[in-house]
């Protein structure tokens, strides 16, 4: 890694600090979404040792309830808020890695920061950050995959990127996966 990739100006650090506060605030003030209960319930049931599909109906791919199950143990009685906070932090990881990928690809500091800022200006991104759904885990996993393969391009990095993409696919609703959206038959 080049030295200029590692150096982060103070304004960028302050921008990400402000962004962290913004994303957490969104998670705490967003109105309840009609389908958050299915994700919270699946996480709570998985934390009790039950399995999606076998022990309870779950309409999504299975990774998220397993990843978020420890939140039920750590924040019993506050799982909705804990999952929203987790999604806000996953959103922050996603934005930071957009910035790091741009820097790794040779973008100047201002351009990389602008790319990260544009993501936070995207309505669907900010909505997903503020709800307890399964949108941010796959987004963060996909960006980890991109960050991994945008690095040194060694076999281990490419393998790690592939694992991250595979995990992203197992955390997301297939109807929204790239290439599948809109292919279902009309009802």
Does residue 178 carry a pLDDT above 50? no
Does residue 184 carry a pLDDT above 70? no
**Could you identify the residue written with the tokens 């998220």?**
64
Q: What are phi and psi of 163, to 5 degrees?
A: -65, -45
Query: How far does CA 132 lie from the centroid of its chain?
Result: 11
Stated pTM of the model: 0.85
User: Pick from 141, 140, 147: which is nearest to 104 by CA?
Assistant: 147
pLDDT attached to residue 176:
45
More confident residue, 131 or 2: 131
pLDDT attached to residue 59:
86
Average pLDDT, integer, range 45-67: 93
Q: How confident is the model at residue 155 (pLDDT cuts 50, 70, 90)?
A: confident
Does residue 183 carry a pLDDT above 50? no
Q: How far apart are the first and last CA of the chain?
A: 52
**What is the average pLDDT value for the chain, to the nearest integer?**
86
pLDDT, tens digit (0-9, with 9 covering 90-100), for 21-35: 999 999 999 999 888
pLDDT attached to residue 177:
45
Phi-psi label, residue 56: left if phi above 0, alpha if psi -120 to 50, beta otherwise: beta
Q: Where do the structural domains in the chain lie, given as residue ranges?
A: 9-176
Q: Which two tokens stand for residue 109?
A: 């500091």
Least confident of 37-46, 143-152, 153-162, 175-184: 175-184
């Amino acid at each position: 890694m080049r030295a200029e990739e590692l150096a982060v100006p103070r304004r960028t650090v302050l921008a990400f600090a402000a962004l962290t506060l913004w994303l957490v605030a969104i998670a705490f003030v967003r109105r309840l979404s009609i389908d958050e209960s299915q994700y919270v319930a699946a996480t709570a049931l998985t934390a009790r040792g039950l399995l999606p599909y076998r022990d309870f109906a779950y309409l999504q791919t299975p990774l998220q309830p397993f990843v978020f199950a420890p939140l039920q143990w750590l924040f019993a009685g506050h799982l909705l808020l804990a999952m929203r906070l987790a999604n806000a932090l996953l959103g922050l990881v996603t934005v930071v890695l957009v910035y790091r990928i741009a820097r790794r690809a040779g973008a100047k500091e201002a351009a990389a920061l602008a790319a990260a800022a544009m993501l936070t200006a995207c309505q669907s991104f900010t909505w997903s950050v503020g709800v307890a759904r399964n949108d941010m885990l796959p987004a963060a996993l996909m960006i980890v995959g991109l960050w991994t393969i945008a690095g040194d391009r060694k076999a281990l990095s490419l393998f790690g990127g592939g694992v991250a993409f595979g995990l992203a696919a197992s955390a997301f609703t297939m109807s929204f996966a790239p290439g599948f959206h809109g292919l279902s038959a009309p009802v």
